[in-house]
Structure 1
């Protein structure tokens, strides 16, 4: 019984940690996607300009 209780407590703690991380990261998703798009466009332009 003690092993099952500790497993459930660990599972609950992991779920809580994942939830808190998601609440912290979720508002940043649009900024990350925008930054990736800008980096890809700049990389494409740089690649086209420096290609032989």
Structure 2
């Protein structure tokens, strides 16, 4: 029996699974670390490689 519904493919960004908290954690750890002491006033987009239009 065929299954109908949304098809996930990495070639169609709108069908990608939603981001998980664990995917954002490395950015938060970087910003909380001593290595980020010289980062100020910067916007660090955490987009998972998706372009922001």
Q: Which has the higher contact order (CA 8 A, sep 6+)?
A: 2
TM over 0.5: no
State which structure, 1 or 2, has the greater radius of gyration over its C-alpha atoms.
1
The structure with the greater share of residues assigned to helix is 1
Query: Normalised by the size of structure 1, how large is the TM-score?
Result: 0.32
Query: Normalised by the size of structure 2, how large is the TM-score?
Result: 0.31
